[in-house]
Structure 1
Amino acid sequence: MSQDLYTQIVNSPPGGFIAKRVGLPQPTTLDRYRPGQPVVTGQVLIGAAPSGRLAGAIASTLADAQADVATTLAPELRTASADAGLDASVFNPEAGGDRRFKGLVFDATGIKDSTELVELQKFFHPSVRKVQSSGRVVVLGTPPEATKDPREHTAQRALEGFTRSLGKEIGKGSTVQLVYVAPGAENLIGSTLRFFLSPKSAYVSGQVARVTPGEPVPTDIDWERPLAGKTALVTGASRGIGEAIIETLARDGASVVGLDVPQLAEDLNAVTSRLDGEAIELDITSDDAPKVLAAHFKSGVDIVVHNAGVTRDRTLAKMPEDRWSSLMEINLSSEERINDALLKGKRIPAGGRIIGVSSMAGIAGNRGQTNYATSKAGVIGMVESMAPVLADRGITINAVAPGFIETKMTAAMPIAVREPGRRLNSMNQGGLPIDVAETIAWFASSASGGLNGNVVRVCGQMLLGA
């Protein structure tokens, strides 16, 4: 789906002239990934607080991604870059000039006390104004719960306020993320740093991701097709976001299986046939659905994406029990039963991925959507509760929480609801189904074994809500 009409108008020469004169927002046309392009097009500047522990992992990731890198004058960064084989230039803010950066990466793990948070100001004050349009900023820290004392916990927790605020300041379609890297997970940051620096994360900003110890990254991974040899099941795959998900997983090398209700069989078969995939026509709320899926995947399924979902809006005072219960069955309870059947039957192997689709409604709530918001908050609860259980089996579970995404459903909304939904975020525009799909593909990657229990919003950093 292309840009909305407002964005097209204010980015045209006459519309842009008027928009600037009257102060209307002019959404930046976001860079999005095209197959074959590099992880990042433009130079990436690395900085670090003294005594950080991630310089080597950052340098190795950027070297593997064949990125053009610059560093500050910090000796540990210069050494790490050289050890990784990077021919990194030096950025000296006192030298002047008109240098521009596509990405900024800052290792904040060395910050052990609130007085040391000034290191953020020292690095970003001279560099953030040099970030190009659709640029990327990534701060890496230590999970507060993994710190050694209260002062370090305090300082590391403060990073969330910094990154969320910078995300709302930076503009020009640029994004800002915080990645908490647990001790022992340093060598697992590759997929996350690549994703957050790349155009694949175009509509993800102001987010916090946690990387914890997990399965090692395969030594022979093909970053263009990280899902090669994997089988992926996507529910609700016939149209909209589900169609984008299954297309993206197929692009990344997975053998795809799409599932949807029999009423949408024609659309489903058109999608799966185009991708050389398989279609399953099934109502996931039926009593035998978990058993049917367990029997279908006798050889196992590596990736399970719970995308199927509906809205049946009405204020609670006007909501009958059947309207509540039927939505809850589709959006949440059926997912739990399917997970139980696949796990009990050992259909999801070690290295498997379960990915849920929550919603901003499940985080912030929505008037007239008590049933929907309850179900989507439940998806988050499912991720939180199952993550430690699945970790023992070498399986991860994560979720995405979309905000306003341009689909046929949102296009049909009344304009008074639709336009605030589009504009009240740091990007001043709605996202696209591909933005949700790219985030799911990141979680699904064979290199993402360190991601478990995360819920990442795909909302352009909505200005309201959590």
Structure 2
Amino acid sequence: MNDSYLNFVNSPFGARLARSLGLPKPEVLRRYRADRPEFDGIVAIGAGREPHLLDALATLVGGIGVTSVAHASAGLWVPLANRHGLMTGRFEAADSGSSSKLAALLFDASGIEDSSQLEPLHAFFHDTLRSLGKCGRIVVLGRPPQTCVNPRQWTAQRALEGFTRSLGKEARRGITANLVYVEPGAESGMEATLRFFLSPRSAYVSGQVVHIAAQVGDETGGEMDGETGGKTGSKASSTFDWAQPLAGLRAVVTGAARGIGGSIASVLAAEGAHVIGIDIPSARDALDATMRQLDGTALAFDIAAPEAPAQIAAALDEQGVDIVVHNAGITKDKTIAKMTEAAWQSVIDINLSAQERIDDALLAGGILRDGGRIIGVSSISGIAGNLGQTNYATSKAGVIGRVQSMAPHLRARGITINAVAPGFIETQMTAKIPLAIREAGRRMNSMSQGGQPVDVAQTIAWLAHPGSAGVSGQIVRVCGQSLIGA
């Protein structure tokens, strides 16, 4: 869907008018394109007291092939980078006036153990933020508060959330800011998550907090794979190619005929997966066309039908699957006083209960392989609620409950379960919203614009990645850091 205001204020005349009238000017976001480098530019490195993650950052910087500069707070970075054979230098405050803008800011706060040690956060970002270019990336690294050894360390690490979310709202210009908590022992599983947050793939994901957990080495009899952080013997966590990380994997996407589901299928296929798209029989023609373009497989099932889980399981049984994306969903909006029982039940059944029944069938039959991925599509409405959407918000909050409750139970099989929670995404559905409400939805986030279906799809592809084995039980909002909700 076309955002006329965004296009106008980014035209030569519109930009001048916006400046003269003081109008907001949302940035045209830089999204991933296969014909452009995924990573380029200069990354500035900062650190707090006794950082624990610089060595893992050096591996990342070397892997993505960017140049780094060390802020004064990260005095250990230069000798470490030199040992890794990396191109590096030192950041000087005078660089803020340079025409060569920074592409990203990385700060290792993992060693901060007391609130009195938070000052380097201020020093680093005070000196570097104005040097960060349009659509730049900010990533702060810390330790999960729950793993901290004493209350003061817990307090200091929890403080990073308020800091990072505030940065996302201050930076503007299409810049994202996210916090990654890395559990001790999970350092080898950082790279896939950091690549996502540093790349154009995360263009509409900001203000998020992600936990990377250490993987248990022998729960399913497998050994840790040092490259992926997953278990050997599981197809979904075997050695992979960063350019095609899902090669050889099979992914199921419900509601795949068009819209966000079609975009999810397309991105997963581009990363190497064989996609099995599921949609209702009445959408069979659109589903066939989408799957034909992707060399995928089309399955026409009504997922809410009582027989659907057994039918889907039977269709997938012979080869099994590695990734299940529950995207299918409907809305039937009315205030609760005017909502019929049928409108309530159909939304709950399709958006939530069908996911439970399908997963039960795939897990019980071993059709979803060990080391696999389950990814649900929730919504900002499931976090904050929404007028006239008690049924929809209930179903989407239930998706969050599924993720949080099932993650510990699936851990023994190396299966992760997560959800994305989209905000305002430009689709055919949002195009039907009245103009004033649609414009409010677009502007009420740090990016001052709506997201695209591909933003949801790229986030799901990261959660499906073999290198994301340490990310489970989490809800990631794809909302441009919405001002609604948490």
- TM-score range (shorter-chain normalised) is over 0.9
- The aligned counterpart of 1:164 is 165
Report the AA paired with residue 404 of structure 2: E
Report the AA paired with residue 434 of structure 2: P
1:89, distance to aligned residue in structure 2 (A): 1.4
Of 417, 422, 425 in structure 1, the residue corresponding to residue 442 of structure 2 is 422
Report the AA paired with residue 108 of structure 1: A
- The aligned counterpart of 2:264 is 245
Identity of aligned residues (%): 54
- The aligned counterpart of 2:233 is none
- The aligned counterpart of 1:144 is 145
Distance 1:68 1:282 in 2: 50
Distance 1:232 1:21 in 2: 50
Distance 2:479 2:349 in 1: 25
1:12, distance to aligned residue in structure 2 (A): 1.2
- The aligned counterpart of 2:62 is 63
The alignment partner of 2:404 has SS state of helix
The unaligned stretches of length 5 or more in structure 2 are: 216-223, 229-236
Distance 1:324 1:229 in 2: 40
TM (norm. structure 1) is 0.98
1:88 counterpart = 2:78: no
> Is 1:36–1:224's contact at 8 Å kept on the other side of the alignment?
no
Of the structure 1 ranges 60-69 and 88-97, higher mean CA displacement relative to structure 2 is found in 88-97
What pairs with 1:299-448 in structure 2 (closer than 5 Å)? 299-448=319-468
The unaligned stretches of length 5 or more in structure 1 are: none
> Is 1:398–1:454's contact at 8 Å kept on the other side of the alignment?
yes
> Is 1:38–1:65's contact at 8 Å kept on the other side of the alignment?
no
TM (norm. structure 2) is 0.94
1:50, distance to aligned residue in structure 2 (A): 2.0
1:94, distance to aligned residue in structure 2 (A): 6.1
1:259 counterpart = 2:278: yes
- The aligned counterpart of 2:22 is 23
1:300, distance to aligned residue in structure 2 (A): 1.0
1:97, distance to aligned residue in structure 2 (A): 5.4
- The aligned counterpart of 2:44 is 45
Evaluate the alpha carbon distance shift between residue 65 and residue 384 of structure 1 in structure 2; reply closer, same or farther with a 3 A threshold. same
Post-superposition Cα deviations, 1:369-399, rounded to whole Å, max 9, x if no partner, equal 0000000000000000011111111100011
Distance 1:424 1:109 in 2: 32
> Is 2:139–2:197's contact at 8 Å kept on the other side of the alignment?
yes
Post-superposition Cα deviations, 1:211-250, rounded to whole Å, max 9, x if no partner, equal 0113640684211110000000000001110000000000
- The aligned counterpart of 1:223 is 242
Distance 2:366 2:301 in 1: 21
The alignment partner of 1:447 has SS state of helix
Report the AA paired with residue 192 of structure 1: T
Distance 2:247 2:475 in 1: 25
Distance 2:438 2:133 in 1: 29
1:96, distance to aligned residue in structure 2 (A): 6.9
Of the structure 1 ranges 135-144 and 14-23, higher mean CA displacement relative to structure 2 is found in 14-23
Moved over 6 A (4+): none
> Is 2:78–2:89's contact at 8 Å kept on the other side of the alignment?
no
Distance 1:311 1:204 in 2: 24
Distance 2:238 2:286 in 1: 38
Of the structure 1 ranges 217-226 and 16-25, higher mean CA displacement relative to structure 2 is found in 217-226
Report the AA paired with residue 125 of structure 2: F
Distance 1:282 1:302 in 2: 20
Report the AA paired with residue 293 of structure 1: I
Distance 1:387 1:78 in 2: 39
The CA RMSD over aligned residues, in Å, is 1.3
The alignment partner of 1:258 has SS state of strand
Of the structure 1 ranges 390-399 and 34-43, higher mean CA displacement relative to structure 2 is found in 34-43
> Is 1:39–1:67's contact at 8 Å kept on the other side of the alignment?
no
> Is 1:39–1:197's contact at 8 Å kept on the other side of the alignment?
no
1:84, distance to aligned residue in structure 2 (A): 2.5
> Is 1:188–1:447's contact at 8 Å kept on the other side of the alignment?
yes
Of 284, 293, 303 in structure 2, the residue corresponding to residue 274 of structure 1 is 293
Post-superposition Cα deviations, 1:32-75, rounded to whole Å, max 9, x if no partner, equal 00115333221111111121110000110111111222222434
Evaluate the alpha carbon distance shift between residue 220 and residue 326 of structure 1 in structure 2; reply closer, same or farther with a 3 A threshold. closer
1:21, distance to aligned residue in structure 2 (A): 1.4
1:123, distance to aligned residue in structure 2 (A): 0.8
Distance 1:220 1:309 in 2: 34
1:77 counterpart = 2:77: yes
Evaluate the alpha carbon distance shift between residue 259 and residue 20 of structure 1 in structure 2; reply closer, same or farther with a 3 A threshold. same
What is the number of residues matched between the two proteins?
465
- The aligned counterpart of 2:4 is 5
Distance 1:316 1:339 in 2: 30
